[in-house]
Structure 1
Amino acid sequence: MAQDPRIDVAFTLREGGAEPTRDELAELAGSLKPEVWFSTPLSDAEPGEGGREPDFTWDLSGAPYKGQVATGKAAVYLANSKFGLNRPFIFADGFNYGESDLPGLFAYFNTPYGTKQGLFDQLLSSGFDVIVLGFTERHTHIQANAEVAIAAIRRTIQERKSDIPLTVGGVSMGGMITRYALAKMEAEQSDHETATYLSYDTPHNGAWIPLILQQMAYFFEDFTPAGSDGVKQAELIRSPAAQQLLWAWVENSKYSGEVATASELRGEFLRDLAAVGNFPQRPLKLGVSNGRRDGVGRPLPAGEVAFDWQALIASATARFQADKSEKKPIGGMHLGLALRRSTTTEVPALDGAPGGTLESFGLVADALKAKIAHEYRSGAFVPSVSAAALDFDPVKWDVNLNLSITDADLERGHLDEVAFDDDNHPHSLVSGVLIDWIVEHLAG
């Protein structure tokens, strides 16, 4: 009988090692970057000339979730200020740590490409009013931020000067937040007045951050000073959003056990999502993937070393995820005498899967100041099969990651129409292929 996907950590004493001195620990701490790992602000991604001031901004509060009220903001850009809010397009921010950067998000997705204007300028020119939705805590529960999205939808309906239906969606987890919000409104028989839903490289069935890198975030956090804001490096990985979003997750660097069900928060979210119908039923559901559809992933050698970092008192080795089988090595780390090595069982080789990528190995190598080959820096973050919302179990992941996705596969999926990129590009990349498709389907 096949085992469920799991991780196992073995602890040994390192031969010839010694307990680190206070000075050695201080030197190690000084060499590690005090920042939240895996956080990649869009505003740092050279968005280009795409920014403009919003016509107005809304402060938003959601209904309480588990006794707490999530908040956010929406920046409203009118196609024509004389007509007011007329043809709304709500676009929600995605997975990251801390507060949304609305000017950065607008500028990034409004990046010109080729000889064309950016996405938002094209939509504004077509008469859409662009509403960029952000959250005070992007890293909190999806259900909580979905209440903020519901507040934004209701405020939009209230302020709209016409009866033109809404277009609602988001990038990355923003697509999950708005998916849940629209489905919840339907389940509660609250009219969202939305005709089209759009997800941009959204991990509908889950995302992937390598387990060995998650472990390193926890492990080295104990020896790394907090950043200037007092936040430490594993905060994003341990956040509710990460637990709900990631298909495989570990709670600390010592955890051994099943990984697809390690967090109750993910199971709870999937149950809540199923209870409201899984997807909204009324809107036309569109989606785009930053990955390829032909089953060709990144050429990362499963099970091989991605980087190997050696310091005087510490070390860290990261391997690309091996493909299933039993107790396959994925790397390890040591500090002083303590040595730990990790293996996985029945975990697929997700790093090389086709899909939107993240510089996960590169970001961790940089934080450790480790050498890494350029071609090894990035692996899959949102596999194409997940962004396309194909019909498979989001816990068991009973799907071929390297599936050449046919029209028949998409017809059995949950989205009405899906576009794929021409290569496996960085997650959330403003791709001309995808932007052209979106503009054609929304404004054509």
Structure 2
Amino acid sequence: MANTVVDVWGQVTPETRSSYPSAPEPHEEWALDGGTAWVYYSPLNRRQLVRPVILSDGFSGGSSNLDQLWQGLEENGDFRFISELHATGRDVIILGYNDRAASITDNADTVIDCVRRTLAERVGQSKLVVGGFSMGGLVTRYALAKMENDPGLPDHETAIHLSYDTPHQGAWLPVALQAFTHYATDKWGDAPGLGPVLSQFSALLNSPAAKQMARWHLPKADGTAEQAPERVAFLQALDEIGGWPRAVRKIGVANGVDTGDGNGVKPDAVAVRCDGETLTDTWLKTQAQGEQEVARLQKAGEEALVVRTSGLPEVDGAPGGLFTVPSPAGDTGSFGLAGLLMALLGNEVDPDVIATSCFVPSVSAVAAGDVADQNALYQAITPDRSDLDAFLCASRNEGHTTMTEELGAWVVNEIVSGS
């Protein structure tokens, strides 16, 4: 247990950092207020910033790993996104943050600093493309809207805002998993080896960005799942600056389908169960409507804690980008991560685990409905329902922020035709 490492939401620990191949040396590296940007000039532009595309990192713990971000865009999917942008004469700036779990509004200031620097370095008058992946789409959305509403800030000179599987209407992390994480941290957070990992994950769930992004947040194992006050305040702040940047074309993609067809996860099913050295008859269920016992948590020798929810929709099975995380045991999903932690705590996990669940519902990624509405979650998405000017949903429910030819090529075409 002492050498256990769990890589949560792409978070790179010293033990796993070497497993990510290095990106090519950037042509320029910018130290920004709250972050870092790597600049890759298009070969067509002779190392000049002519047609800039800023791509923001998303949510995780600690600082951004720009090697990993570059790999995700260029090497880990089936579409070389940066190369394809370069082939159209677009210069690519990948933007990371000193603290990816910091407030969205704080990291938006880093975006603003990056836009300033880009405009200062740009040759010519081509307008910018600014956007991001997962929460990076929200951070850039807020930044551009703020620049339009604050007279002390410059014109962002941006033609397109891009969001790639961004939780515009909120993200979903199973309440059962949140409860188990907090419960395990309370019981074993001081233990050597796994304890720091549990504490890190629990702290990540309670970070400013997670509270702002999650549609339902559980602050502690015996708490109530609801919108965190931080999310309510963020939505109010976003509304006060208009909700969206107005002077841009808003485009976005979802890693889930637009047909209303779910991912096959049934509601009120036991997703993962264990029994053993440290936990007794402990189980987590997928989310159902109405009153539900969603988890039973019991440390050996103690009374059980039963976690209940009320009035939530069947989000685990909804169409959308799936929760996936890399780990030493291979990529897994939300409930698979819980099973891994249960096993690491010395318990036998039932083999028939429902490994993953929806993370960003399609209606959230394309801003087309309330994720708290059961009907909206499973309804076919039409253009008139979306706040975006153009969007594309995937032809299958796939891993959150997966770079595919289907989605990547559509984005490149939209950028070329609109900027």
Q: Shared topology, TM-score over 0.5? A: yes
Match of 2:204 in 1: 236
Change (3 A) 1:151 1:227: farther
SS state of the match for residue 161, structure 2?
Answer: strand
**Partner residue of 2:242 out of 260, 266, 277:** 277
| Aligned-partner Cα distance in 2 for 1:176–1:49 | 28
Runs of 5+ consecutive residues of structure 2 not aligned to the other structure: 324-332
| Aligned-partner Cα distance in 2 for 1:112–1:334 | 39
Deviations 1:172-205 (A, max 9, x none): 0000000000000011143100000000000000
Q: Does 1:55 align with 2:55?
A: no
Deviations 1:222-250 (A, max 9, x none): 30436699662312111111100000011
**Partner residue of 1:134 out of 96, 113, 135:** 96
**Partner residue of 1:317 out of 273, 280, 283:** 283
**Partner residue of 2:41 out of 74, 78, 96:** 78
SS state of the match for residue 10, structure 2?
Answer: coil
Deviation at 1:301, TM superposition (A): 1.6
Deviation at 1:304, TM superposition (A): 1.1
Larger displacement relative to structure 2 (221-230 or 421-430): 221-230
| Aligned-partner Cα distance in 2 for 1:74–1:286 | 23
Deviations 1:126-160 (A, max 9, x none): 11110000001000100000000000001100111
| Matched positions, count | 393
| Aligned-partner Cα distance in 1 for 2:260–2:351 | 24
| Aligned-partner Cα distance in 2 for 1:208–1:241 | 13
| Aligned-partner Cα distance in 1 for 2:236–2:35 | 25
Deviation at 1:312, TM superposition (A): 2.9
Length-normalised TM-score, structure 1: 0.83
Q: Does 1:93 align with 2:57?
A: yes
Change (3 A) 1:422 1:216: same
Deviation at 1:443, TM superposition (A): 2.4
Match of 2:328 in 1: none
Q: Does 1:209 align with 2:173?
A: yes
Indicate if the aligned counterparts of 2:147 and 2:156 stay in contact, CA closer than 8 A: yes
Match of 1:150 in 2: 112
Aligned residues with identical type, % of pairs: 33
Deviation at 1:161, TM superposition (A): 1.1
Deviations 1:286-314 (A, max 9, x none): 00000000011111120010111111342
Indicate if the aligned counterparts of 1:303 and 1:319 stay in contact, CA closer than 8 A: yes
| Aligned-partner Cα distance in 1 for 2:127–2:350 | 49
Change (3 A) 1:377 1:113: closer
Change (3 A) 1:99 1:269: same
Indicate if the aligned counterparts of 2:167 and 2:365 stay in contact, CA closer than 8 A: yes
Q: Does 1:246 align with 2:224?
A: no
Change (3 A) 1:186 1:325: same
Tell me the amino acid that sits aligned with residue 410 of structure 2. Answer: W
SS state of the match for residue 308, structure 1?
Answer: strand
Length-normalised TM-score, structure 2: 0.87
| Aligned-partner Cα distance in 1 for 2:164–2:193 | 31
**Partner residue of 1:405 out of 377, 381, 393:** 381
Deviation at 1:78, TM superposition (A): 0.6
Deviations 1:335-380 (A, max 9, x none): 1222111121111110000000001111111122254657721100
After superposition, residues 325-344 of structure 1 pair within 5 angstroms as: 325-326=290-291, 328-335=292-299, 336-344=301-309
SS state of the match for residue 161, structure 1?
Answer: coil
Tell me the amino acid that sits aligned with residue 263 of structure 2. Answer: R
**Partner residue of 2:150 out of 188, 192, 206:** 188
Match of 1:3 in 2: none
Change (3 A) 1:438 1:143: same
| Aligned-partner Cα distance in 2 for 1:50–1:91 | 18
Indicate if the aligned counterparts of 2:35 and 2:97 stay in contact, CA closer than 8 A: yes
SS state of the match for residue 256, structure 2?
Answer: coil
Q: Does 1:159 align with 2:121?
A: yes
Runs of 5+ consecutive residues of structure 1 not aligned to the other structure: 1-29, 62-70
Larger displacement relative to structure 2 (396-405 or 303-312): 396-405
